[in-house]
Structure formats: C-alpha cells, structure tokens
Chains A and B, each alone.
Chain A
Amino acid sequence: MEGILTQSILFGILATGVRLATPYLLAALGEMFVQRSGVYNLGIEGIMLLGAFLGFFTTLHLGNPIFGILAGIGTGAILGFLMALVSVTFKAEQGISGIGLYMFGLGLSGLLFRLYVGGITSIKGLQPFSVPLLCDIPCVGTILFRHNWMVYLVYILVPFAWFVLYRTTWGLKVRAAGTKPEAADTLGESVDKIRYQCLILGGALAGLAGAFLTVGQANMFVDNITAGRGFIAIALVYFGRWSPWGIMAGSLLFSMADSFQSMVQVLGIRFPYELAVMLPYLVTIVALAVSFGRVWAPAALGRPYERGSRG
C-alpha cells in the first residue's frame, strides 16, 4: 500500500514538473534568440505579466482559451517591438530599459486588473488532452502524455528552435548579429533588422508564456502572478548556455524542484513554509553561480551596434 502511494506521489511530482517547466521554457527560448542576436531583454517579466493578464481577460470574455493565447502572443510581440525601439533604435542602456519595461508591465497589469476585473475570477482554461495509446504506457504515459496541448507544443518547439538556430540561414544571421555584427553588416545584412525580429519573437514567446500561466495553469489572474518567473527564465538562458537543449534541461531541473517543493507542502511534511517559497530563488542564484565556470556568451551581447564604429 505504502509502495503504491509513494509511487503515485513520485509520478505526480514528475508530471507536474513537466507541466510547470513550460512557461520557463517558452520565455527562455524567446530570450535565447534575443540574446543570440546580441541584445538583452531584461523586461520579459513585464511582458509575461501583461500577456498573463490579457490572456486571462480575453479568455474570460470570449470563452475560448485559444483567443487568450493569441492575445498573449500579440501583446508580447507589441512589447517586444517597443523594447526593440528603445534598445536598438535609441541604443538605450539595456539593463535599465529592462527594469523600465518590468515596472511598466507590473503597473499596467495591476491597473487593468483592478479596473476591469477587480477580484478573484476563475476561467475555464486549457483542458488536459491524453495522447491516445501513448498515455497508456506505464509510468511514462502518466508523466508525459496527459497534459494540455500547449505543453506538447512547447516541447516540440525545443528541437524546432535548435533547427532554426543552427540549420537555417536566418539562424546563422541571428548568430552573426550576436557574435560579429560587423561581419553581418559587411555581408549586407541589417543587424538592426535581425535584432528587431528577435526581440519581437522573444516578446511574443514571453507573452505566450504569461498567457500560459493564467490560461493553462492557474485559470485565474492575481497581482504579480509571475512572481519572478521572467527573471528566472533569463537565468535559465545563462544556465543552458544559450542552447535550446541546455535551456530545456535547466527548465526541467528547476520545475522538478518547484514541483517537489509544493508537494512537500501539500503532504504536510514539517518544513518552514517561507523556506519552501524561497527555494526556487535560492536555486536560481546557485544555478547562476555554478554556470559561470566556463564562460561563453554571444560576443556582442549588450553592445548596441553602431555602423562604422570599430568594436
């Protein structure tokens, strides 16, 4: 009896972990393209917050979560464009502008929530979809194949992102813009254009990640619902060394710890509540600290490209 109980708990932790990893993975894959093109977007937390609210709000009014997801993508793309305007065209300090975008998203999502919703309201979000046949495989089926369709989509996105980055011309341009923008420019590629594309793509993915939080996980919106997830996603980009597979490994490691932590609380194991809540943030700091043993980063990361300058 006890054996069955622990086994089902273990499966529960793993399955929840697979699901919890998705918002991190989405936001981090987007940020990976942004940083590969040579720009930091440190404001994705703000984008996620607005994506989360508008995804929730659209679903609340139109009923179908698919509209919420589209709203999240659209919001994120617009904010990504805004960030591109600030950091590419106006060549602003990227760290500080990220803080600005974060505060903007935090304030605006809180404002809109109070204006148009007010209190805790739940929505009917994405429903789990068991993949036929595959979901019946013992162990693996429960862990991997009983989620909502967004979860599957996100994991398919990982090899796709790898393919785009390493096997397509556009991916090559992105990497060139981030490591040797002068070379890309010499070949007639507009560095600014590539960076705009990446920031818009990264923004759209961050907005989608935010919408997933409300539409695919919580089924509601509360103030500051992201609670630092956007910043953690950026940390995962470092931890995963700017590669899709590394980012996926980091996201899973992280979400498993998160899932374990919440299970410990549910089971009522004596463990200080505050310590459990701060655990993901401690893990992030440790992950950042250990991932700097061997440093590799896109060479032009954070450096605005100025034509004709010798860099």
Chain B
Amino acid sequence: MNKSWITQILVLLAALVCALLVGAVFILLAKSNPIKAYGVMFTGPFSSKFGISETLVRAVPLLLVGLGIVISFRSGILNIGAEGQILIGAVTASAAAAFFPQWPAVFLLPLVLLAGFAGGAFWGGIAGWLKARLSVNEILSTVMLNQIAAQVYIYLIRGPLIDPQQLTFGTRAPQTALMPEGIWLGRLIPGTRLHTGLILAVLLAILVYIFLWRTTIGYRMRAVGAGPEAARYGGIRVEFYLVLAMALAGGLAGVAGSVEVVGVHHRALEDISAGYGFSGIVAALFGRLHPLGTIPAAILFGALILGADMMQRAVNIPAAIVMAVQGLVILFVVSSDIFLRKPGYAKQVIGSIFSRKRKKEA
C-alpha cells in the first residue's frame, strides 16, 4: 500500500516535470532563459509572507472547484462547467447580499454562501438533468452553459445588479455594490488577503471525503461512476445520482464563487473567475480524484498560477503559459494511468515500436 502511494506521487511529479519541460521549450522560443524563468516561478510563491498567503488565496477556489470535480468524475460525469458555475454562484451570492443588507451578519453570511451554493447547484443541475433525461453529452452541455453563464453574469452586473454608486457617478463600471463589511470573511494573517475561506474549504474537503466513502449516498454515486449498468442492476437510480452529482459539483463551484466575493473582492466584478474552473479540474486530477489529495494539489497549482504571474513581471513571459502547462499536465497524467494499471505496458509499447522498425528493415 505504502509503495503504491509513493509510485503514484512519483508518476504525478514526472507528469508535472514533463509538462514543465515542454513549457521550457516555449520559454526558449521566447528567447528567455527557462532556468531563470522557472526559478522565479517556483521560489517566488514560497519566499515571502505575501507569496505564501497569495498562493493560499488562489488555492481556496481551486480546492472548492476541485472537490466538485472529484464528486462528479467519481460519479462518472465529466463536469467542465465549473467556470460558469463559479460566475452564477458569485452573482447569486451578491444578489442575496444586495437584497437583505439589513440582516445581521450571523444570518446574512450563511445566506450569501448558501445562495452561491444554490446558484451553482442549479446551473450544474441543468447539465446533470440533460445527461440523465436526454443523454446529452455533459462535456458539450457544460461548455455551452459556460458561455451562457458568462453572458448572464455580465448582463446582471451591468444591468439590474449594478452598484448604484456607479449609476450616480455615471462611470457604469460593471460591478455590484460593496457588501456590508460585517459579512466580509476575516483575515487569517493580518496585512494579507488570506481569509477564513481556507478553513471552510479544508472542512468541506473532509466532509466530501466522509460523504463519498462513508455514506450510502456517496457509495451509490461511486457505484454509478464505476459502472452505470451494474449500478442499475443493483437497484440504484442512476439518473437521480447523475443529477445529484452535477448539482453538488456545481454547488461547490458556486461556493467558490461566493467565497471569492465575500473573501477577496467583497463584490462581484468582471473576470472574477480567472480560469479557476479549468485549473480546478487539473487540481482534482492531480489529487488522484481524492478529496484529501486535492488539498495539496490545489496549493501546488495555486503556487503555479501565482508563480506564473510573478514570472510574467520578472522575465516577461506571458502568464498564459500556465494554461498550456496545465493542459499538458492533464495529458501526461491521463496518459500515465495505463502504466499504473498495467506495469508491463511500457515494455509492450516500446517493444511494438522496435518490432515494427525491425520489420521495415527486414
């Protein structure tokens, strides 16, 4: 058991290193020094209080999104709609705060977070329902829902939910009103942006672990993921659990959106998601689709995203490189799976290449 854990971690790190090596080629193409660039990228996030706190600030939404991904992937449904679910969660959370500003913070804060959960759950649930009822491919429907959510979001924060001050001053910047200060999440380290959302995210990770591995519902969801037909013969209502999985995944992404609002920006504004919906997928895969494994993975990718920003400032490599590297990480991780499942497969592949060559020579 111990040994297999070590192998898994080594394979993951190898995948990351391979992706970074390909990234190094692009840095060379940009006529920069990859060693210097990666030096900034990897030491920057860990060398100061600012770096560490900002890494964790980014890890919070990654972890929350990643937990949703774990639930959905484990249930056999590939949710790539977290980007849209974050936006819907952020906007429903802001709406809740705008409609009940007089409520005491003890009630308003939970309401705001629940509103974010509900908004994301609704948005994710649509894709789940489409899959369960009409067998609409969830990857396609969630991509479409992402695009639709982006328009709904921008319409709401530019129109009905716009900050009244923006109207009085005539600046019309697309953002909602500042939330009452009472519900802002407290700072964990004074002088940084690190907020108590981190504790919430870690608690939810433990909760998701218990839910998936220690409850009947969680067991059934994993059974659906392992084999829907077998699960159906076992008397499990597959359709119901598909919708539930997508609603929970969307809900967690929605919580990520609302935590960004109450913890970091204190209002909904443009570009609030910053690609967390996709990076969360990478974090979940890197955490071997385990809620607790996703915690360190989210921190790692939080550091990578922050490091890329620092690299952009230091050596002028556009931070867009981090998206390309994450895509490669996914490709390497899913490709390496076969070698974990079948240790002899590498020899087989190499062998077949060589035998083909020999055939050609002969």
Complex contacts, A235 vs chain B, CB 8 Å: 137, 140, 144
Q: Chain B's nearest CB lies how many Å from the CB of A146?
A: 31
- Asked whether B41 is an interface residue with its Cβ less than 8 Å from the other chain, the reply is no
- Asked whether A42 is an interface residue with its Cβ less than 8 Å from the other chain, the reply is yes
Complex contacts, B336 vs chain A, CB 8 Å: 90
Q: Which of A120-128, A156-164, A246-254, A283-291 contacts B (4 or more CB under 8 A)?
A: A283-291
- Asked whether B200 is an interface residue with its Cβ less than 8 Å from the other chain, the reply is no
- Asked whether A277 is an interface residue with its Cβ less than 8 Å from the other chain, the reply is yes
Identify the closest chain B residue to A42 (Cβ). B139
Q: Report the separation of the CA atoms of residues A227 and B144 in the bound assembly, to the nearest whole angstrom.
A: 10
Complex contacts, A45 vs chain B, CB 8 Å: 143
**Which of A110, A111, A281 counts the most B-chain CB atoms under 10 A from its CB?**
A111
How many interface contacts (CB-CB < 8 Å) are there between A and B?
146
Complex contacts, A46 vs chain B, CB 8 Å: 327
Q: Is the CB of A106 within 8 A of B147?
A: no
Q: Is the CB of B151 within 8 A of A234?
A: no
CB contact list, A92-119 vs B, under 8 A: 92-93, 95-108, 110-112, 114-115
Q: Report the separation of the CA atoms of residues A292 and B137 in the bound assembly, to the nearest whole angstrom.
A: 10
Complex contacts, B337 vs chain A, CB 8 Å: 90, 92-93
Complex contacts, B321 vs chain A, CB 8 Å: 107, 111
Q: Report the separation of the CA atoms of residues A295 and B137 in the bound assembly, to the nearest whole angstrom.
A: 13
Q: Report the separation of the CA atoms of residues A217 and B105 in the bound assembly, to the nearest whole angstrom.
A: 53
CB < 8 Å neighbour of A285 from B135, B141, B335: B141
Q: Is the CB of A95 within 8 A of B139?
A: yes
Q: Is the CB of B147 within 8 A of A107?
A: no
Q: Chain A's nearest CB lies how many Å from the CB of B127?
A: 9
Interface residues on B, range: 35 or more
Q: Is the CB of B136 within 8 A of A281?
A: no
Q: Chain B's nearest CB lies how many Å from the CB of A19?
A: 22
CB contact list, B288-340 vs A, under 8 A: 318, 320-331, 334-338
Q: Is the CB of B136 within 8 A of A289?
A: yes
Complex contacts, B324 vs chain A, CB 8 Å: 103-104, 106-108, 111
Q: Report the separation of the CA atoms of residues A14 and B74 in the bound assembly, to the nearest whole angstrom.
A: 46
Q: Is the CB of A274 within 8 A of B155?
A: yes
Identify the closest chain A residue to B336 (Cβ). A90
The 9 closest A-B pairs by CB, nearest first: A107-B323, A104-B327, A100-B330, A107-B324, A103-B327, A110-B320, A92-B334, A90-B335, A114-B318
Which residues on A are within 8 Å of B, measured CB to CB? 42, 45-46, 82, 85-86, 89-93, 95-108, 110-112, 114-115, 227-228, 231-232, 234-235, 238, 272, 274-275, 277-278, 281-282, 284-285, 288-289, 292, 295
Can you sample 13 A-B contacts with CB below 8 Å?
Answer: A82-B331, A92-B337, A99-B78, A106-B327, A107-B321, A107-B323, A108-B26, A231-B140, A278-B152, A282-B144, A284-B144, A292-B135, A292-B136
